[in-house]
Structure 1
Amino acid sequence: MPDSSPREKASPLVIMSERRVGIIGGFLSAIGPLAMSLYTPAMPDIVTAFGTTESAVKLTLTAYFGGFCFAQLICGPLSDGYGRKPITILFMSVYLAASVLALLAPTIEIMVLARLLQGVGAAVGVTMSRAIVRDLFTSDKSARVMNLIGIVLSVGPAIGPTLGGLTLEFFGWHAIFMVMILQGIVVITIMLLFVQETGNPDPSRIRPKTLIKSYFSLLKTPHFLLASLVLTGATGALYTSATIMPFILMSRVGLSPSQFGMGMLLQTAFYISGGIIYRLMMHRLSVFQMSCIGLLCTCSASILLAVMLRIYEPSYLRVMLPMGLYVMGIAFLTPQMTTAAMAPFPQIAGSASALMGFFQMGGGLVGGILSASMGDPVIAMSTLLPLMGLLSLISYIMWNRFKLPLSQTIEHPVTPKISEQR
């Protein structure tokens, strides 16, 4: 039953259950990865359709990462100032309009612009999902909801390449953007009908001086900064691999678009398995032990990629098995590091979520740019992903030194804690 104390009754929050927040949060978080994974199978065909080069088409993905990365720094603080719900609807409207522009794009230059705007709109999903969780939950409940979000989120990248590959094979690349248009309409509908406002809007928080002060306070806190860098290395590697794998598995290994899409299910199976194992073990192992399992997976995968892709010719299993192990590690690291990093900042949860997302997508953006400059996708994958795994490991070792006492990461001085819900 919800706490019925006078302080909670006076709160503007309308309480949502863990399950509801987890499912809706997972759906919001999946917007960005789904828009990326739907698109990647079509990249070789778009090269031909526009009579352009692989580098130019990779630029559409880089533009998407750039828009996604920097827009988080805007939508997060705006949600602190004006509320989670209206800002989500606003940015998803941008995503919807950009999807229409991509569908009608006559040139590769317009496609780059459309993908940039898609990234801007999609940025709101992952930012808002984390901020809503921080508005309502702390400690174990937050980690449990973030784990549920991760499991729901994994469905997006799971069905994305498969749906994209099948759509491409049977209906052509234009139809992929029709799917994205439908996605935008569904998300806006969900926000209007099923999501309650969870924030405590205060326009004074988005004054330039206040906003700069908020970001500076986050950046100068080692506890937050190092936790964000742990996830930058882990998830940045995942985003970087998305720009590389289509060209390895389709152009080098020889998979068709539909085979590529179906083949990506193996990676998702590893992620879902990691999320389920995490959920079963979270009350039996310590935070340190859970994080060590995640780091063991990402570091082992990094070594396998660095060795196998440089010694042997790439094959489906030589690429996908290490990547599966990598994403299993991410399933262990994300709930722990996200909860720990954001817990001390309830008043600026949107800004904290935005800056954390900026670091993660920034890792993907830098990785995508470097992979394009390296030319050979196999060399890029066997170099960049191990380096990102190393960044994650070093950042965690340093974070473990600077982490806050448990009491400082659990107490919630402003918003009410949520007890058992339906």
Structure 2
Amino acid sequence: MMKADSPQPTPRMTARRTSLLGAVLTALGPVSMAIYTPAMPELVEAFSTSESAIKMSLSLYFAGFAVAQLLAGPASDAFGRKAATIGFLLVYLVGSVLAAMAPDIGWILAGRLIQGVGASVGITVARAVVRDQFVGREAASIMNLIAIMLTVAPAMGPTLGGLSLAAFGWRSVFLLMLGFGLISIGSVLFFLQETGHPDRSRLRPARLLSGYAEVLSNARFVLASLVIGGSIGALYAQSTMLPFVLINEVGLTPTQFGIGMLVQTGSYLAGSLVLRLLARRISGHRAVVAGLCFSGTGGLVMALSVAMLAPSFLSIMLPVGICTFGIAFISPHMITVGMGPFPHIAGSASAMMGFIQMSSGFLGGLAAALLGAPLLAFGTVIPFMEFAAVGSYLAYLAIERRM
């Protein structure tokens, strides 16, 4: 839980503006990851390459996103939220152009890596801007919207990507990303007020390492981040498997795959709606417990369905929907309590939380690649990540009781 004596900051923006800007910035990373997935099987043929090479393009995006957050957060502490965000978004635009104009798979790989680096600033700054201005229930409410975008965006992305792919071909998918990047820069330029207190000394190596050592020495922060990493990270990891499972194993077209992913979107929106209706009746702790019950159950159903049933749309997406419904209950409270103790280095704390989250997705995707068979990986790796989130929260509660 957050400490009772956490100081109340003075907001520079309204909660509504902060929420909307946070949603735009947060959506960029997961949309850029997911909008690409329907095109992955087609890119194998377009460049006469292997599935492994195309999966590598997604892994490079994960890697760039995860590692660059460790610089994006401190950069926003050092130069200000606005300046750092614009700088990284310009990098994202460069990556989008390279990928859209790619003459071979090497350019796709480079473009995706650069995109990941640029997009890393979105979620990092979104969380930091909330922590700069709000605490307690108000912060959790805004974090809830940000968490919605973290989950809805990966589900909406395949739908947009599948429709664009069917109508205009694979290059149009990257042009869509370019458009999202331009919208994000425009939103920051015109609507984001500076909420931090820039201090360039925070980018000095000693101070940088000191800030990360501080957040990593806080066991509650680490465990809260692992809960987020196991649950939301599972969504990112499964994005490397679902296109090949649903298109190659089940037999969906890329457009059908994109539309089918609306099951994930609808499940999260339903969970968020139920949470809002119950928000005044249940504590953050009880919400997390309920969410983990759904996620853990979904993981178990997923493992059993893969082991015992022939793959079908229902056998694959039903457990995904159960897990995603539960994640809506988990994210707001865990993000808020994890970042609560670090108002003085909110950017670094947000960056480290994002790094753990994205690294979980990256490692899950890497484990899936090592297993080889997408269906086997889906029924093994994703349930393991859901169970890991449950275990991390049990450890978090054990530490809370001792304090």
Structure-1-length-normalised TM-score? 0.91
Tell me the equivalent position of 2:329: 332
Q: Does 1:378 align with 2:375?
A: yes
**For 1:31-180, what aligned pairs fall within 5 Å after superposition?**
31-180=28-177
Work out which of the residue numbers 187, 198, 223 in structure 1 matches 2:195: 198
Tell me the equivalent position of 1:301: 298
In 2, distance between residues paired with 1:405 and 1:178?
52
Q: Does 1:398 align with 2:395?
A: yes
The superposition leaves residues 237-268 of structure 1 with CA deviations (integer Å, 9 ceiling, x where unpaired) of 11111000000000110111111111011110
Q: Does 1:239 align with 2:236?
A: yes
Instruction: Please say if residues 151 and 232 of structure 2, whose CA atoms lie closer than 8 Å, have aligned partners that are also in contact.
Output: no
Instruction: Please say if residues 307 and 379 of structure 2, whose CA atoms lie closer than 8 Å, have aligned partners that are also in contact.
Output: yes
In 2, distance between residues paired with 1:27 and 1:405?
39
Counterpart residue type for residue 398 of structure 1:
A
- Secondary structure of the corresponding residue to residue 243 of structure 1: coil
Aligned-residue offset at 1:403: 3.1
Counterpart residue type for residue 59 of structure 1:
M
> Comparing 199-208 with 155-164, which one deviates more in the overlay?
155-164
In 2, distance between residues paired with 1:78 and 1:393?
33
Structure-2-length-normalised TM-score? 0.96
Instruction: Please say if residues 103 and 174 of structure 1, whose CA atoms lie closer than 8 Å, have aligned partners that are also in contact.
Output: yes
**For 1:354-373, what aligned pairs fall within 5 Å after superposition?**
354-373=351-370
Counterpart residue type for residue 375 of structure 1:
G
In 1, distance between residues paired with 2:123 and 2:401?
25
Aligned-residue offset at 1:369: 1.0
Q: Does 1:256 align with 2:276?
A: no
Aligned-residue offset at 1:384: 0.4
Q: Does 1:187 align with 2:166?
A: no
Counterpart residue type for residue 141 of structure 1:
E
Aligned-residue offset at 1:405: 9.8
Counterpart residue type for residue 132 of structure 2:
D
In 1, distance between residues paired with 2:21 and 2:401?
30
Aligned-residue offset at 1:280: 1.8
Work out which of the residue numbers 268, 277, 282 in structure 2 matches 1:280: 277
Counterpart residue type for residue 336 of structure 1:
H
Work out which of the residue numbers 18, 27, 33 in structure 1 matches 2:15: 18
User: What stretches of structure 1 move > 2 A for 4+ residues in a row?
Assistant: 148-159, 403-406
Aligned-residue offset at 1:156: 2.6
The superposition leaves residues 198-218 of structure 1 with CA deviations (integer Å, 9 ceiling, x where unpaired) of 111111222111111111111
Q: Does 1:225 align with 2:222?
A: yes
Instruction: Please say if residues 40 and 242 of structure 1, whose CA atoms lie closer than 8 Å, have aligned partners that are also in contact.
Output: yes
In 2, distance between residues paired with 1:283 and 1:345?
26
In 1, distance between residues paired with 2:121 and 2:401?
28
Q: Size of the alignment, in residue pairs?
A: 397
The superposition leaves residues 129-170 of structure 1 with CA deviations (integer Å, 9 ceiling, x where unpaired) of 110110011111111111122335555334311110011111
Instruction: Please say if residues 135 and 349 of structure 1, whose CA atoms lie closer than 8 Å, have aligned partners that are also in contact.
Output: yes
> Comparing 13-22 with 344-353, which one deviates more in the overlay?
13-22
In 1, distance between residues paired with 2:147 and 2:21?
11
- Secondary structure of the corresponding residue to residue 195 of structure 2: coil
Instruction: Please say if residues 11 and 133 of structure 2, whose CA atoms lie closer than 8 Å, have aligned partners that are also in contact.
Output: no
Instruction: Please say if residues 11 and 134 of structure 2, whose CA atoms lie closer than 8 Å, have aligned partners that are also in contact.
Output: no
In 1, distance between residues paired with 2:113 and 2:52?
16
- Aligned Cα root-mean-square deviation (Å): 1.6
Instruction: Please say if residues 30 and 154 of structure 2, whose CA atoms lie closer than 8 Å, have aligned partners that are also in contact.
Output: yes
Structure 1 unaligned blocks of 5 or more: 1-6, 407-422
Counterpart residue type for residue 278 of structure 2:
M
The superposition leaves residues 243-297 of structure 1 with CA deviations (integer Å, 9 ceiling, x where unpaired) of 0000000011011111111101111000011111112212211222111111101
Kindly, what percent of the aligned residue pairs are identical? Answer: 47
In 1, distance between residues paired with 2:63 and 2:101?
22
In 1, distance between residues paired with 2:205 and 2:307?
49
Instruction: Please say if residues 223 and 404 of structure 1, whose CA atoms lie closer than 8 Å, have aligned partners that are also in contact.
Output: no
